[in-house]
Structure 1
Amino acid sequence: MRILLLNQCFYPDHVATAQHLTDLALGLSKAGHQVTVVACSRGYDSPQIRYPAHEFWQGMDIHRIWTPGLGKSAKWRRLVDFGSFWLSATWILLWLPRFDVTVCLTSPPLISTLGTVMAAFKGGSVVPWVMDLNPDEAVAAGWLRAGGLAERLLGFLQRWSFRRAARIVALDRFMARRLMEKGVPPEVIHTDPPWSHDEAVRYDEQGREEFRSLHGLKDKFVIMYSGNHSPCHPLDTLLEAALAVRDRSHLHFLFVGGGSEFEKVKQFRERQLLGNITTLPYQPMSSLAASLSAADLHVVVLGEPFVGIVHPCKIYNILTLGIPFMAIGPEESHLGDIAAKLPAGDSYVARPGSVEEVVHHLVKAAESPGRRSLDAQRLAREFATEALRSRLIRVIEEAAQK
């Protein structure tokens, strides 16, 4: 079967959608399918990094698109990058052959619409793998006005493509509910979360000690936020908690990753003269186990307006490690569902804006440094790569028959 994967990010980029799409591509190739990928030639968070425009890798044909790489510092820069990706992808897809199935992710926004147009023109089925919902996210973040002309137009294009999908993959029950509200038939929706990177992520005791020593964290209780720093995951409450406990020298906050809000964390640290905050860029996959294992408490944040729009993917790697985590977000969310399955001490839940609640949980968690949870590790098996990836591959294969 000929399968096209369409997304802004792919190997060797290290952002979450690139990692999950690369995992899927390898699984499809191993299953005997002919895989073609159309992605961007620039790093998602580091546009100065350039990847080859065309290469064969692991039996897959990869076409990478040039974009200006203007970055995320202003909305117009994002729009130009997104627009250039759309135009270049359209040109490439016109020249590529027909595919049995096109799997579209959601970066840049509404890229599934392009996949749907090309499939209508050439034939074949389309399977959107919805990593986030736009323009819903843009409205929730305040970037677009609800009910405005732009939101109505983009919403129309989104619904048009989704309603023509052979199957559509939602990441949790809240996202599935939003899709049904948009008119997608329930029988078309397949609900499964993205998997943990259990081949690369494991608890690494030696790596933990080396990483903590390297970054001056040897005798600290490390509270880690690792991943994309974006308005969907508002960090204000956590940062205010860091300010509130600045005199508790054993508590140290480590922010690892990138995204549009990463600079705000640095600026907050410098403005408040906080020595209890360290910031580090995304870690390569080869160092991910050591980096994540270095935490004593992980923090996962989900803004209330974004429930069912974005998904807290990082939680699955945390469960695999068995390290306790604190969820800052609404209880009525997928993140709240996960936390509710674990006993006290393995997970903590705090309301956004409640600095006192966060501080209380931090102090409580710090009473058990280095704690590991067997319950969390058992729960993590539900999100193992092979189980979830195999189910997704079957969904894609079935879509070709429609």
Structure 2
Amino acid sequence: MHLALVIDDYLPDSTRVGAKMFHELAVELTHLGHNVTVITPGFEQKHAFRETQLDKVKIWNFRSSPIKDIGKIQRAINETVLSHRAWSAIKHRIKGDTFDGVVYYSPSIFFGGLVSKIKQRCACRSYLILRDFFPQWAIDSGLINAGSMIERYFRYFEKRNYSAANVIGVMSQKNLEVFGKQSPCYSGKSEILRNWASLKPSEEVYDIRKKLSLENHIIFFYGGNIGHAQDMANLMRLAKGMNDYQLAHFLFIGQGDEVELIKQLAEQWQLSNFTFLPSVGQDAFKKILAEIDIGLFSLSKKHTAHNFPGKLLGYMVEAKPILGSINKGNDLKEVINSNSAGYILDNGEDQSLLNSAIKLYEDQEERMELGLNSQKLLENEFSVSSAANLIVKGLRS
């Protein structure tokens, strides 16, 4: 099959987990014998269209204004025209037999128009990889008022995004249930598609310990989006609670709306055990993961959806124990805890989270055992080959 893969952020320019996952999927699909073309924005590129290649994956970039790390209003405007700009750039290259299927990733919610046009011209099916429920999570977090004009605007594009899909893959059983309640008219075409990762660990290191003079320290690491959905103050309180443990160090690498918040809290609380670094490239990021001791994550307690953050898969690949807190009822807690891959608490259980961090800090054998279990969990439940086969099955149904 010749497959079009659509995403708003992709390698080699992106440092985000979603871009890495999508590229791993594209590479796996090529290994399965499919012809893959990724359609993605080229930010600030001069020409309307550009074609490149990465790891035997063809990439079509269409010209776009930035949609990451900018003001919310400007981001909404720039994302709204993604489908229009994409179709204008690629429509002359698409014939009736060009594509046999479309796989698209959300967020963003604004590719429904593009996917519909490709499907109409090529008479093919589509698979939506739905990784969060926007705008619902923004309403839950208080960023958007329920019933407002802004909500109705985003809901229109959300519905258009869902309508363009023949199959919609959500991350977990709980998400499947939530999706069925929130969007009942689309629930009949939804299924569980877990996040995925390549199983190959890094063979090199970045020397982050040497660069930060942390050779003998236990590194608690957070990498990825630093935003409202993550409730970063939650992890900063954990760092504060560990400040008296001499060899514990918290390293955060990423970008997002709450970068200034974590910097302010580190200064306000005079944290000597905390380092923030801006995003690094995917190769460097993977090498850093090979050096850290404990993988951190956090989800806002206000969420009603049940996300499985992609960053956890990076921790699993490198056999790192997982420590974090989530919104109440999230079935991720059961997945990690029942497989002894780490410690997951409900967001707000600060003392229990701190106690778990202390336990991991003090017990090297436990860190090793939980890390190996997390790697086994990845192999059993979250391989990229499983995801690719399920998507292909959905496109052929």
- The TM-score by the shorter chain falls in which range? 0.7 to 0.9
CA positional deviation for 1:381: 1.2
What CA RMSD, in Å, does the superposition of the two structures yield over aligned residues?
2.9
Report the counterpart of residue 345 of structure 2 in structure 1: 350
Mark the runs of 5 or more structure 1 residues left unpaired by the alignment: none
Paired with 1:386 and 1:69, the residues of 2 have a C-alpha distance of 29
Q: Deviations 1:161-217 (Å, cap 9, x if unpaired)?
A: 424522111111122223322125555223121212322x35x6x738x33222211
- Aligned match of 2:364 in 338, 347, 369? 369
1:359 match: 354
Query: Aligned partner of 1:33: which letter?
Result: H
- Contact 2:220 2:251 survives alignment (8 Å): yes
**CA 1:383–1:55 in 2, change beyond 3 Å: closer, same or farther?**
same
The alignment's TM-score, normalised by the length of structure 2, stands at 0.86
Q: Which residue of 1 aligns with 2:83?
A: 86
The whole-number CA distance in structure 2 between the counterparts of 1:164 and 1:179 is 16
- Alignment-derived partner of residue 331 in structure 2: 334
| Shift in alpha-carbon separation, 1:221–1:86, aligned structure 2, 3 A | same
Gaps (5+ residues) in structure 2? Answer: none
The structure-2 alpha-carbon separation of the partners of 1:316 and 1:163, relative to structure 1 and needing over 3 Å to count, comes to: same
Alignment partner, residue 24 of structure 1: 25
Give the counterpart letter for 1:124 in structure 2: C
Alignment partners' CA distance in 1, 2:68 and 2:376: 40
What residue in structure 1 maps to residue 209 of structure 2?
212
Is the alpha carbon distance of 1:17 and 1:386 closer, same or farther for their aligned partners in structure 2, counting shifts above 3 Å? closer
Verify: 1:165 aligned to 2:165, yes or no: yes
| 1:247-295 residue CA offsets vs partner (Å, 9 max, x unmatched) | 3322211102222223322232234332211112334333334311322
Residue 392 of structure 1: aligned partner: 390
3-state DSSP of counterpart to 2:364: coil
**Measured at CA, do residues 375 and 260 of structure 1 come closer, stay the same or move farther in structure 2, by a change above 3 Å?**
same
Aligned to 1:237: 234
Is the 8 Å Cα contact of residues 196 and 317 (structure 1) preserved in structure 2? yes
Compute the TM-score of the two structures, normalised by the length of structure 1: 0.85
Which of the numbers 259, 278, 295 marks the counterpart of 1:298?
295
SS in 2 for 1:236: helix
Residue of 246, 258, 266 corresponding to 1:261: 258
User: What code does the residue aligned with 1:21 have?
Assistant: F
**Cα 1:254–1:56, aligned 2, differ >3 Å: closer, same or farther?**
closer
Answer yes or no: is the 8 Å Cα contact 1:168–1:188 preserved in 2. Answer: yes
Distance 1:22 1:302 in 2: 25
Cα offset, 1:226, TM superposition: 1.6
Give the whole-Å Cα distance in 1 for the aligned partners of 2:119 and 2:63: 23
Aligned residues: 388
Residue 297 of structure 1 contacts residue 326 of structure 1 at CA under 8 Å; is this kept in 2? yes
- Check the 8 A contact 1:69/1:81 in 2, yes or no: yes
Deviates more, 1:181-190 or 1:261-270: 181-190
CA distance in 1, matches of 2:54, 2:344: 42
**Shift of residue 386, structure 1, vs aligned partner:** 4.5
Q: Which residue of 2 aligns with 1:132?
A: 132
Alignment check: 8 A CA contact 2:199 2:379 kept: no
Identity %: 19
TM alignment of 1:99-118, pairs within 5 A: 99-118=99-118
SS in 2 for 1:102: strand
1:36 aligned residue: 37
Moved over 6 A (4+): none
Matches of 1:331 and 1:30 in 2, distance apart?
39
